Amino acid sequence: MLIRYKKAFEKIAMGLLSFMPNEKDIKKLQQTIKQYENEENWQLFLWKIEDDVIGLIGVQLKDQLVEIQHISVNPSHRNQGVGKNMLKSIKQIYEGKTILPNEYTAAFCENCNDEEL
Ligand SMILES: CC(C)(COP(=O)(O)OP(=O)(O)OC[C@H]1O[C@@H](n2cnc3c(N)ncnc32)[C@H](O)[C@@H]1OP(=O)(O)O)[C@@H](O)C(=O)NCCC(=O)NCCS
């Protein structure tokens, strides 16, 4: 289930974000999480199964566009469809808008078929 980020999940969210190749630097990571906390057009979501947060997806809203900025799944839960399910949920949340990847999420997003994105 996709839930909205809350400050209580900051540590787990930073851990998941750090799997992104462009979020290896701790300063950059802190900046990114602040951006999601403070800027209305940056929205962060977490994938929760029972009490475990195992995935993260973050978007930037630009009028009719929704750009996927970050997507990450805990290594122990990969290749089980969590990434694709997070994309599907984002599509439902932002129904009617155009969902696009950015340069850092394109490889995975473009691997998903039209049903997911
Ligand atoms: C990318 C990521 C979120 C996928 O999550 P997941 O839950 O394992 O994805 P799913 O189970 O829904 O889908 C698995 C498919 O994605 C593919 N995939 C995984 N990582 C990929 C990548 N970086 N680029 C392209 N395809 C990728 C798998 O090969 C698999 O393909 P298949 O269905 O043809 O066998 C996860 O691998 C991850 O967290 N990676 C580190 C963070 C990262 O690099 N994010 C940006 C990715 S561009």
36 vs 38: CA distance, rounded Å: 6
**Which residue in the block uniquely carries the two structure tokens 């993260």?**
56
Overall average pLDDT of the 29-38 stretch:
98
To which H or E segment does residue 106 belong?
helix 106-111
CA-based nearest residue to 56, from 66, 67, 44, 38: 44
Q: Give residue-wise pLDDT tens across range 74-117.
A: 999 999 999 999 999 999 999 999 999 999 999 999 998 655 45
Q: What is the average pLDDT score of the chain? A: 95
Nearest residue to 35 via CA among 69, 64, 1, 2: 69
Q: Which pLDDT value is given to residue 114?
A: 59
What superfamily would CATH give domain 2-111? Gcn5-related N-acetyltransferase (GNAT) (3.40.630.30)
Q: Angle of helix 26-38 relative to helix 10-17, nearest 10 degrees? A: 120
Atom 16 in ligand 1: residue holding the nearest Cα: 108
**Does ligand 1 lie within 6 Å of residue 24's CB atom?**
no
Residue 116 has a pLDDT of: 45
Q: Is the pLDDT of residue 44 over 60?
A: yes
Q: Indicate if the pLDDT at residue 32 is higher than 80.
A: yes
For ligand 1, atom 3: residue with the closest CA: 72
Which letter does DSSP use for residue 69 in this model? E
Q: Which residue, judged by its Cα, is nearest atom 19 of ligand 1?
A: 108
Pocket test for ligand 1, best of 14, 111, 115, 116 (most atoms within 8 A of CB): 111
